Structure 1
């Protein structure tokens, strides 16, 4: 073992500065000295993205099945990553149905999305759902990473009060549950996520570092510049290129957070304004949160993440894409062609943000594969048609091949009433997490591989 490779490994792939800890992406110099089995594949990650109010199914569902399927109008933005997708039709969340509990379909759709459990109808403190699939994974493998899981969102939520026909706001605002009675709150401020991901050292050092950066108007990269330069002098050409791409990406994220840091080399001492927090533009906000997820996966800060593009029953308008109407109001379309067209526009807009995430993940190399190849990103809703509030034939996309264990590039239709939780059980198995069931699962989906 030469000194270069030894130095890379013993630094645990982290660059440090005052109150800053910058984990590094996959590097050839690191991978070549670990065990052969570990070098052959990067860790598998899983992510879940929730969208509310269902979709216009006729514009969502591909008309052909199998390989070479034709993307539907709503899914057309995914064309650059079509071969990395599985579009699944036929999955059901039975526990999203009333099952005797009456109205409240939107709250149930969020709480059931990753749990497969019937939520208790209450707006008090006695909430009850189930452990979500992301937290099943986090509890099993979370000790392997700095954060066991990362919960993200765009709309703030509440865990008290009545948000939907007698259901607590906790159900509408959360998709991640660590126990039957404990939703895991999401972070909606990208600045706070960024600081959390790159905070390093003891608590007083982290606070001091943040204050120091604020006073000096410096990037986190300025605090690890010396450490980065020492490492770069020891790396080969490919690793130096990968490291430079990664650091440039971090600086670009800082700039978009409101810091105004141009994407230049570490040699330039640059001023920037303090982060402004939550962007005013909805698309900018979503894409920054996507970038936070990518950075967390790329640096192996976590292998499990969730994101809510909006809370259940959300009624925001989409004036920037020519839809001034409220989303939830439009979802009750009554088969009005004009309303259905507007719903399709909103659905397509959300899919465009998914495409942004997936294309970014596909651009990041990890040896012979990409970050997307080594991931599973499950996107969709627990309501099919917002007008009917039905929970069968859900609109679901699974992206990434989990290290080559999923046969992508297909539209597959599973038998009617197949539990959505069967997909979750299949995903957990690919994370190395073997459990007898999740929610109302009845077994794995064999057609994920051929």
Structure 2
């Protein structure tokens, strides 16, 4: 086998590979020898079929397989000896298209090599960590929001009209064609107007009613209604309004705390403070991560594989175009040409991606099976009722697995660098942290 370099320009590499007819013949004979002990043929005992007969019978069929394995072996040997790592799958094509059995095979291979990543002194990186404490005002505000979600209702002043969001306590009897039907009646039913818990149009007709009033509500059951004998039918519900109540936030006390699983109000306040500080810590980490990536981007420079940059720039341009055109949900549109700005951003992403991959490899960072399972479960929640199908889809889709693994790997590498970097904590206000997060979103 002969390998000749034809291109060595930047990260671009090109080679001609010649596999001789003798090498191919030897590979075929090797495969036949491996299979011979198990082959039976009429007139011969198992394992005793002559090689010449086997070659005549199966040689042609094994030739293509031998050719592929020999070329793959040549490529693998080249990468082992050269130390090159291709950025993308190498392009391989046979150049003597008029090849026939007995000829040498001529193959052209080209690829872009991944660059050498320079060493980075991670201990020299200096970062600032924004620390926010959950003060009493923040806890009280969160408590107030909780109380509103656990709202109660109190009677409105006598004679008041029901508004959207109010609760009306009603007795009702529903009839279709003048006949009451099963499940169409109730007494002292508390209905929140605007909750859309009843048939479309029902709640709207009760806006403006008063306690003591009787009102006929005319509705049409939806065509796809669960009870077939009612689907699409017109109905009249005679409603007697017993009370009209307005929403009020629940009182902030031990009873409210127990609704949210805490022993008492003080325990609930402690839980809220911990949750707030966890949220602040997450936001602070995002700000510090951006600062770290900026620092790494300044410290390192190396050649980038053009194909990776081009692919990333196209992806960025495509994603941003869809953000600007949210009404377009498919990809049936003209190709989006990346701008200089897209390419610049792509270069940064590719450079940092290669650097983090190198750092992670050297630090032996790995994504565990448990972490992958958790990531899949989190994603599967977006498809209620189809979780099992989603799991099976991910198991059979290597690209999807990589999409889920990549951000976990990146975060673990970032945490590894944080451990080595010099980090100074700085206590700031919630507003200062918020401004820093908003600045990230604007970039």
- More strand as a share of residues: 2
- More helix as a share of residues: 2
Band of TM-score, shorter chain:
under 0.3
TM-score (norm 1): 0.18
Using CA pairs under 8 Å that are at least 6 residues apart, name the structure with larger relative contact order, 1 or 2.
1
TM-score (norm 2): 0.19
